[in-house]
Chains A and B, each alone.
Chain A
Amino acid sequence: MSEYVLLRHRDVPHIDQLEVYRQHDGFEAFRKAVTTMQPADVTNEVKASGLRGRGGAGFPTGVKWSFLPDNLWPHYVVANADESEPGTFKDREIMESDPFQFLEGLMIASYAVQANAAYIYLRGEFWQIAAGLDRRIAELEQAGLLGENLFGTSYSLHVYTHLGAGAYICGEESALLESLEGKLGQPRLRPPFPAVNGLYGKPTVINNVETLTNLPPILHKGAAWYKTIGTEKSPGVKIFCLSGNVNNPGNYELPLGTTFRHLIYDLGGGIPDGKQIKAIMPAGASSFVIPADDKALDTPMDYESVPALGAQLGSASVIILDESVNMARVLSKTVHFFKHESCGKCTPCREGTYWMDHITQRIIGGKARPEDIDLLEAVAKQIQGKCLCPLGEFSISAVLSSVKPFRQDFEELLAHESVENAVTR
């Protein structure tokens, strides 16, 4: 087990207090950036580290920053703290337990693109976390780490929190911007991308909380050090959220490229009640379902190896399903989620999730006809590739990847009238 990077303060008492965080090199990386580095140097260092976006898309962070034009001002940085994917609870732990490390990362990103204002968009349910961040932002202003002319330079920065109000779609970056502007959280047509036309029509960087939290250690110890962790194409560490049918659910920080087996059995303590593992959903409800054979269990969790299994790593919210779980019931949950969260803008997503919800409810209610299984797949295929944002695609991943390998699960429900429990047999 290598040393923790993002969660290295897990055992430090009171690390959420400014004084304690500063005793652990807190804000030294930010000071170094502002006082000794040109903004472009910071971007280049992050590019060299190979850090990729941890919100799900895995886009190289430094490259994303370099897209901002330098003839259009002001620039904005927005932290995406809308953590809403079923099975994901890592950003919450970062912001609750080590808030200054996250704030320092946000401040470093802001300096790199010369933004003088940064917003943290939190899901509305994170009301208490937002209140905690507001307190810390006020402390940073008191301590001269936020505000005007930082460290005697001409650089100024203000950070603000903004609460959403319960909409998964606002985790999609263009919908997030719409919501931050006080509108319905519906995705924008792209291009133009937010890097050119973002918040209030200005160049904007949107980064996930975990992505930003990587920045203080990267600047402090250097890109070369960061690249020694993880794999060549997926450098660094990732927080894996382990949930579902597993003995020790929770957040586990691991180098990218660690196998599923290590996470599930060595750290997660295996499957409860001596049951066998059936399938893995590595990216929450948006996941393709991976049948958990030996090949899958020995697959390294990184941005290249998981797609080779026909799935995505996404935000690394690893949901474990044991042998007692019926896949039709799993789909009834994921499809219902996406039906509820579809913003209604694109017809294939709005109507398609509605009909998939009807069909899966019919199947688990024992009222389906044999042809409903094929109908479910057919509706899913009509959503595929026809929506503005990824939500429509997410809604069909589990459907398209589970009907074939687990068809028996669907067929055995056709004859049953009663539903004992929503997920298990």
Chain B
Amino acid sequence: MNQLLSQFSDEVRATLAKYPTDQKRSAVMPLLHLAQSRNGYITKQSLADIAEILNISVTDVTSIVGFYTLYHEEGGRYHIQVCTDLPCALRGADDFLAKLCENLGIKVGETTPDGLVTIEEVTCLAGCHRAPMFQLQGDGEITYHENQTIESALKLVDGLKQSAAAKEEKP
């Protein structure tokens, strides 16, 4: 049973329609994005589902996951990814990242004990003029948060915790 196909049949069909019929493999990256939108990382089942849809090997699909940094095989539900490349560093990004981690009581690359937020250091996000900045990856979306302070970032984390708690309460 192909779970990805049954859950997202319209999206899978629309994605495949973008490419020539004999070039289905082109859909591997969009389908991985789709699979990851379910719970923030890519499961073994999704790898098999995508391989089956595209008629390529699971190894081929897995190699794509390993090569590109936006795909995750584990981690928290949300990824806060702070850019510390040169232009951002010149505007205090290293300091920002260190203080953010200190406040959350975790190290770079670690996840908060509730499994909700992973803090990561990433390369350039094209937001150099509005550093410190980070992207928030989760729920199948990526949003940019620019001109950040520790206060604004911690507020965002609190908001994520509250909305996650609210979702838990609903059946």
Contact = CB atoms under 8 A, between A and B. Distances in A.
Q: Which of B20, B86, B89, B123 gathers the greatest number of chain A CB atoms within 10 Å? A: B86
Contact of B67 (A162, A163, A184, A422): A184
Given A166-B68, A166-B122, 7 more contacts: A84-B124, A87-B124, A160-B19, A164-B29, A182-B54, A333-B84, A337-B85
Interface string A97-116: 00000000000000000000
A373 interface: no
A333 B128 contact: no
Interface stretch (A2-10, A214-222, A244-252, A376-384): A244-252
Main secondary structure of the interface of B (DSSP, over half): mixed
Given A162-B29, A241-B129, A86 B124 contact: yes
B123 A181 contact: no
B83 to A, nearest CB: 9
B26 interface: yes
25 contacts: A84-B126, A86-B87, A89-B127, A123-B126, A124-B70, A127-B141, A128-B141, A128-B143, A164-B70, A181-B25, A181-B26, A182-B29, A183-B25, A243-B87, A244-B90, A244-B91, A249-B129, A285-B124, A319-B87, A319-B90, A319-B128, A321-B90, A337-B85, A423-B86, A423-B94
A166 B91 CA distance: 23
A340 interface: yes
Q: Which of A85, A87, A125, A423 gathers the greatest number of chain B CB atoms within 10 Å? A: A125
A179 B29 contact: yes
A165 interface: yes
Interface in B15-30: 18-20, 23, 25-30
Interface residues of A, number: 56
A104 to B, nearest CB: 21
B126 A423 contact: no
Nearest to B131: A243
Given A87-B87, A200-B23, A243-B87, A165 B32 contact: yes
Contacts of B71: 165-166
Contacts of A333: 84-86, 89
A87 B123 contact: no
A45 to B, nearest CB: 30
B135 A341 contact: no
A305 B121 CA distance: 36
Interface in B109-167: 122-130, 135, 141-144
A125 B125 contact: yes
A175 B91 CA distance: 31
Contacts of A185: 67-68
A83 B20 CA distance: 26
A167 B128 contact: no
Closest 8 CB pairs of A and B: A165-B68, A166-B69, A182-B25, A249-B129, A243-B128, A166-B70, A86-B124, A243-B87
B144 to A, nearest CB: 8
Nearest to A251: B129
A257 B157 CA distance: 46
A128 B127 CA distance: 14
Q: Which of B25, B90, B128 gathers the greatest number of chain A CB atoms within 10 Å? A: B90
B126 A422 contact: no
B129 A182 contact: no
A133 interface: no
A180 B70 contact: no
A285 B142 CA distance: 24
Nearest to A344: B67
Given A125-B142, A182-B29, A89 B126 contact: yes
A422 B89 contact: yes
Interface in B51-105: 54, 56, 63-64, 67-71, 84-87, 89-91, 94-95
Contacts of B94: 421-423
B107 interface: no
B85 A181 contact: no
Contacts of B126: 83-84, 88-89, 91-92, 123, 125-126
Interface string A309-337: 00000000101110001000010011001
